[in-house]
Chain A
């Protein structure tokens, strides 16, 4: 990297002195590898999702893609019932998983934050599914959900959880929350620990009971954590794919298909990159809109 010769560092540098120029040159060299990689594998593919959706591009096609206007978008909205099934399923998934996982994670964090002997062991146990890969967890639960499986035997049910359209999506939801809740527990816990002990002491001097302390001290103190968890769970819930691919392949009769699963089926399974890109763009716009609404809703008091 560039060597700096000047020792003038205390006074404010003007643009264009040898020192600043060499500093800027050094900075560009430092940042260049990351920048090239991000442009190649993030910026360009994202921009391509905007253009490919308007073409008939196919994987492995000999001819170059042609512009087809809004054909792909109209096909999604008018002629593709699976798209609407996928949209409905992912909305249900997001609306159930976000409050369920976020809320349960807060309960776990409050339990873990107690002054009890051996509490670290519980924290480790609650976190264990998070370090287990989603493919493994999905496979394990697929086994447990079998008609002759652990869940039916243990609780005395006789339900074909993953093959019944009315129970398939709820089964995926339960398993997803089980896997992910430990992650958000840790985030809540970190948020809890930023709240100063003196606030609780002041509240208890004022005669606040534990419930009042929770409402008046804990909940307001957790606001930044809440915003973070709310937005990140939503984004990752929208991206639901692995569980579906491993456990149900979108079935039975589209009861568990999701937008990402449908995109991958069209783009990779059938090689229809143009249509899959149009679906990706619709998906991207939905996620972006929801995220912006969430930001707007949670911003006013910050």
Chain B
């Protein structure tokens, strides 16, 4: 399941999880304590190792290796053939750029829009604030899947500005555009909630001092409190990045043009095309490895931040 969308708003803390608090008294220690951990670790790691190893092997060797440990390690007749074949059959580079662009835009615009909203809800007084905040939180229990089809119908009837070399025209329907992948996912109730919680924890006296110095609210947001809210920006970015990079249902519904396909949907089409000698599993494993490795590398680099971001989505603070 994709659990990263819409975590419910129990409360947020950005407490780092890096050094676990040792809750239990010291265990028995020794090899025995590692046994369940190792068994579980193997069950999580082996399928991924199998994917990577298979991506370098020709068809016959993948099948031949299935009965032994060789299935999980890149040994034998290794080559990049599967990767080359993927690039020959589909514009996977283009899919990659599409996903990268769409994800980056959603993350960046989302940080701006959601932090601004969170700032207003946390630090400014205005009528209807509590109702508005409660309304935003209430949207978190609505799964996207429940309104995906009405949304497709809605965006296919929205007007859009189409740019041509000799001017522009107003056309009907957002389907098959970058904007249909980006704009609906910029505002995010959970991010707003996260920012509001964090901005609340920054002393109000800072605003008052800045107001005395003649700063406006924009200056206060930009230069006074946001620089202190780094962890909230990092958490929001991580919690947005992952589900967007992995996004599948929405692009499947609104993108038909091959050149606009993101990587996940491109994968589905790649599988569906097939070849004469049956399903080319080696190539498919090459494709899945290619789109997985970048995320795993990013995850390993920011492992601590990832884990504490996820943790913050569920802890009562």
Q: Which 3 A-B pairs have the closest CB atoms?
A: A1-B218, A267-B149, A190-B311
Q: Is B267 an interface residue (CB 8 A)?
A: yes
Contacts of B197 in A (CB 8 A): none
The answer to whether B267 and A139 have CB atoms under 8 Å apart is yes
Known: A125-B45, A182-B44. A134 touches B27 (CB 8 A): no
Query: Of A2-10, A72-80, A161-169, which binds chain B?
Result: A2-10
Q: Is A83 an interface residue (CB 8 A)?
A: no
The answer to whether B211 and A229 have CB atoms under 8 Å apart is no
Q: Is B178 an interface residue (CB 8 A)?
A: no
Q: How large is the interface on B (under 10, 10 to 19, 20 to 34, 35 or more residues)?
A: 35 or more
Contact partner of B17 (CB less than 8 A), chosen from A128, A178, A189, A267, is A189
Q: How many cross-chain pairs have Cβ atoms below 8 Å apart between A and B?
A: 353
Q: Which of B142-192 contact A (CB under 8 A)?
A: 142-154, 156, 183-187, 189, 192
Contacts of B124 in A (CB 8 A): 23-24, 26-27, 30
Known: A124-B300, A136-B288. A37 touches B183 (CB 8 A): yes
Contact partner of A194 (CB less than 8 A), chosen from B185, B216, B315, is B315
Q: How many chain A residues have a CB neighbour from B under 8 Å?
A: 123
Q: Is A84 an interface residue (CB 8 A)?
A: no
B39-77 CB mask vs A (1 if < 8 Å, else 0) is: 011011101101100100000000100110001000000
Give me 15 other A-B pairs in contact (C-beta within 8 A), A40-B184, A132-B295 excluded.
Answer: A28-B126, A49-B146, A59-B153, A113-B23, A122-B40, A127-B299, A127-B306, A140-B50, A194-B315, A194-B316, A228-B8, A239-B145, A246-B271, A268-B253, A273-B153
A190 to B21, CA, bound (A): 10
Q: Which of A106-132 contact B (CB under 8 A)?
A: 108, 111-116, 119-120, 122-132
B1-14 CB mask vs A (1 if < 8 Å, else 0) is: 11111111010000
The answer to whether A133 and B295 have CB atoms under 8 Å apart is yes
Q: Is A95 an interface residue (CB 8 A)?
A: no
The answer to whether A49 and B147 have CB atoms under 8 Å apart is yes
Sample of 26 A–B contacts (CB below 8 Å) = A23-B126, A26-B120, A30-B124, A31-B116, A37-B187, A38-B187, A42-B142, A52-B150, A57-B153, A59-B153, A59-B156, A113-B23, A113-B24, A114-B27, A119-B20, A126-B41, A128-B44, A128-B45, A128-B296, A133-B295, A135-B264, A153-B67, A190-B315, A193-B20, A200-B25, A218-B23
The answer to whether B125 and A190 have CB atoms under 8 Å apart is no
Closest to A182 in B: B44
Binding site for A on B (CB under 8 A): 1-8, 10, 15, 17, 20-27, 29, 33-34, 36-37, 40-41, 43-45, 47-48, 50-51, 54, 63, 66-67, 71, 113-114, 116-117, 119-121, 124-127, 129, 132, 136, 139, 141-154, 156, 183-187, 189, 192, 208, 211-212, 214, 216-219, 221, 242, 245-246, 248-249, 252-253, 264, 267-268, 271, 281, 284-285, 288, 291-292, 295-296, 299-300, 303, 306-307, 310-316
A44 to B143, CA, bound (A): 15
Contacts of A260 in B (CB 8 A): 145
Q: Is A143 an interface residue (CB 8 A)?
A: yes
Q: Is A202 an interface residue (CB 8 A)?
A: no
Contact partner of A239 (CB less than 8 A), chosen from B125, B143, B214, B300, is B143
Q: Which of A26, A153, A231 has the most CB of B within 10 A?
A: A26
A46 to B150, CA, bound (A): 7
Contact partner of B66 (CB less than 8 A), chosen from A120, A149, A264, is A149
Determine chain A's interface SS by DSSP, over half rule.
helix
Contact partner of B129 (CB less than 8 A), chosen from A27, A200, A245, A280, is A27
The answer to whether A45 and B150 have CB atoms under 8 Å apart is yes
